[in-house]
Amino acid sequence: MNKIPNRQIICETLMAHAETDKDIFVLCSDSRGSASLVPFAEKFPDQFVEVGIAEQNLVSLAAGLAACGKKAFAASPACFLSTRSYEQAKVDCAYSNTNVKLIGISGGVSYGALGMSHHSAQDIAAMSALPNMRVYLPSDRHQTKRLIEALLEDEKPAYIRVGRNPVEDIYSESDCPFEMDKATWLQGRGKTVKAALIACGEMVHPALEAAEILEQAGIAASVLDMYCVKPLDSEAVIEAAKASDIVVTVEEHSPYGGLGAMVAQVVGEHCPRKVKCLSLPDAPVITGTSPEVFAHYGLTGEGIAAVVEEILK
Amino acid sequence: MHDLEVLSWDLRQHTLDIIMAGGGGHIGGDMSLMNALLVLYENHLNVTPTTVNDPDRDRFVLSKGHSMETYYAILCHRGFLDLSDVTARFSKFGSPYIGHPNNKLPGIEMNSGSLGHGLPVCVGMALAGKRSGKSYRVYTIMGDGELAEGSVWEGAMAAGHYQLDNLCAVVDRNKLQISGTTEEVMSHEPLGERFAAFGWNVIAVNGDSIAELDRAYTQAKEAKGKPTVIISNTTKGYGSPLMENKAGWHHHLPTAEEHEQIRRDFAAGKERAEHE
């Protein structure tokens, strides 16, 4: 089991580049510990900005830095970053088109036992609704590294959500296919299948597990890692849907406005199929660790496979 | 200063022309803002149409973005935009000249319109300058009603914390907002003490006075280790007794008769300035 959370990979990747790229700036809202950014703050104090517990200020300051040529990475818990500073993300980042990368840490139900205030089950919908804002949910540490490296190369705003805990590897150091804004096919490309599973973030691993379970039951499934929720890789969605009887999306998000809603829009327009959207409920989630919460709502390999089998009966 | 006094009356007229042509605007705050913005662009802000992308240019963000018509008049006067084009197309379908700052236009650094954004953004700009060893200065102008936004004070806190003496904020203290006086709606006094408590250098001036504003901007440059706020005590609707100190003129569109009266008042103001 991998022990390195994606947030730590973000720090390591930024540190690897900050040595030579003095325009890289990291901002935190008293969140350097939870964002695993303490090493960056200690090694690059001149490229680190602490704003205190002030998320609105965090995002506006980042936009101001970006407007003066800096590559601003603003890290804060996703629950606060995507709601408390939503207008700053809208006006100062998306509308003004500043080079601000909003890093939503401890996303989804990472803080499972802390209550709805600390859950970000709306961030995909909220951030995706902003024109000019991109939304990424990397699935593992290797993809996170590739994504951050790609984001260092562009000058547009983006929102990146990662969870708090280490997640199982999907890829490896030497085998991490990555193309910016293109979904990664994990299995089943070019084959006719019964179910196309499309997932993002921490839900990619259970989607892969579900495909294995389904295969043992004689049900062929494809799996897409849709780390780029916006811009959604519509071509991949259409290709997957056309080769399958049904489409199943899996996300750590509310049922509204997230990956499932976006995939259903594309499938409905281009290649109508039954689309089943698996997600958190439209309700405050049950108390527990992430794995406990996922298990409760069926967001596991077994749970996803069971839904697919039921639909295909 | 005498020339600026005269010029200010021409630019008030241009602002009025833009509002009348576009069929709307925020005339009351436009008039209280005029002198602070004019003195800044004429005497202190180091940016021209040819240096809008120069990394060493001074930065300005209009935080009270609804006073865009005055900003247009000044950007046109300074050669960033064309007055006849702005006047012809302001607020028209598909026009780039909208009712709030938009950074697709030359000379405009950041988009605004929602209040309470300019100061925190400028804190980031000023911090970028400090960390890069650059000597540019950063300016923002806020409305006084805007100060009720919590984000203003988040920015003020950070500016004091980081001792940003390259940052100068102006409060257009006209004491009126859309619903009435600021002190009735949400009181700000003692305003100077509030900023001072956040670690700021505070300068209070008569913001209808070009000479006083000019001195304040100069003093702000001399302050070390602290950001400066200029509390610019102004008259909302300044320049026409018809509008002055009346909350209803926040965004009232003058009738034909009112338009003519305001035009006469501005012309009289210019004549007084020319003979002073």
Indicate the pLDDT class of residue B2, thresholds 50, 70 and 90: confident
Asked if B125 and A64 come within 8 Å (Cβ–Cβ), the reply is yes
Q: What CATH number does the domain containing B150 carry?
A: 3.40.50.970
On whether the CB atoms of residues A164 and A110 are closer than 8 A, the answer is: yes
Residue B128 to residue A47, Cβ atoms within 8 A: no
- For residue B192, the model assigns a pLDDT of 98
**Distance spanning both ends of chain B, measured CA to CA:** 11
Q: What is d(CA B151, CA B154) in angstroms, rounded to the nearest whole number?
A: 5
What pLDDT is stored for residue B73 in this prediction?
98
Please answer whether residues B15 and B69 qualify as being in contact, where contact means their C-beta atoms are separated by less than 8 angstroms.
yes
Asked if A41 has any chain B CB less than 8 Å from its own CB, the reply is no
| Residue A307: pLDDT over 90 | yes
Mutation target to probe the B interface, by most B beta carbons within 10 A, among A23, A44, A56 is A56
Task: Report the pLDDT value the prediction gives residue A54, as an integer from 0 to 100.
Answer: 98
- Give the mean pLDDT of chain A: 97
Q: Mean pLDDT across the stretch A250-261?
A: 98
pLDDT tens digits, residue range A76-123?
999 999 999 999 999 999 999 999 999 999 999 999 999 999 999 999
Sequence-separated (6 or more) residues with CB below 8 Å from residue A194: A214, A219, A220, A221, A244, A245, A246, A308, A312
Q: Is B70 strand, coil or helix?
A: helix
Ordered by where they begin, the domains of chain A are 6-161 (3.40.50.970), 184-312 (3.40.50.920)
Q: What mean pLDDT do residues B149-159 have?
A: 98
Interchain CB contact of A187 with B (< 8 Å): no
**B95-105 confidence digits (pLDDT tens):** 999 999 999 99
Model confidence over A125-177: pLDDT tens digits?
999 999 999 999 999 999 999 999 999 999 999 999 999 999 999 999 999 99
Which residues from A are below 8 Å from B54, CB to CB?
Answer: none
Give me the percent of chain A exceeding a pLDDT of 90.
Answer: 99
Structural domain harbouring B212: 2-275
Q: For residue A140, give the DSSP letter.
A: S
CB-neighbour burial class of residue A309 (10 A; exposed 0-12, middle 13-18, buried 19+): middle
Gap from A104 CA to chain B (nearest CA, Å): 20
Q: Could you give the ipTM of this predicted complex?
A: 0.96
Dihedral angle over CA of A38, A43, A46, A51, nearest 10: 0
How many CA atoms, within 13 angstroms, populate the side-chain half-sphere of residue A153?
7
Instruction: Please give the pLDDT value at position A53.
Output: 97
For residue B266, pLDDT over 80 is answered with yes
Which residues on B lie below 8 Å from A57 (Cβ)? 120, 123, 151, 154-155, 157-158
Q: How far is A75 from chain B (nearest CA, A)?
A: 15
Question: For residue A57, what pLDDT is reported?
Answer: 98
State which amino acid sits at residue B187.
S
The whole-angstrom separation of Cα A259 and Cα A230 is 9
Q: What is the pLDDT of residues B165-176, one digit of tens each?
A: 999 999 999 999
Q: What is the mean pLDDT of residues A2-23?
A: 96
- pLDDT one-digit tens code per residue, B185-218: 999 999 999 999 999 999 999 999 999 999 999 9
Distance from CA of A37 to the nearest CA of B (A): 19
The Cα of A303 is separated from the nearest Cα of chain B by a number of Å equal to 44
Question: Binning pLDDT at 50, 70 and 90, where does residue B32 land?
Answer: very high
The model's confidence at residue B276, banded by pLDDT at 50, 70 and 90, is confident
pLDDT at position B1 over 80: no
Dihedral angle sign, alpha carbons of residues B59, B63, B68, B73? negative
Total domains, chain B = 1
DSSP structure class, residue B44 = I
DSSP state of A90: I
Does an H or E element contain B60, and which?
strand B59-62
pLDDT at A1: 86
Q: Per-residue pLDDT for B60 more than 90?
A: yes
Q: Mean pLDDT in chain B?
A: 97
Q: Which two tokens stand for residue B12?
A: 């008030």
What DSSP state is assigned to residue B204?
E
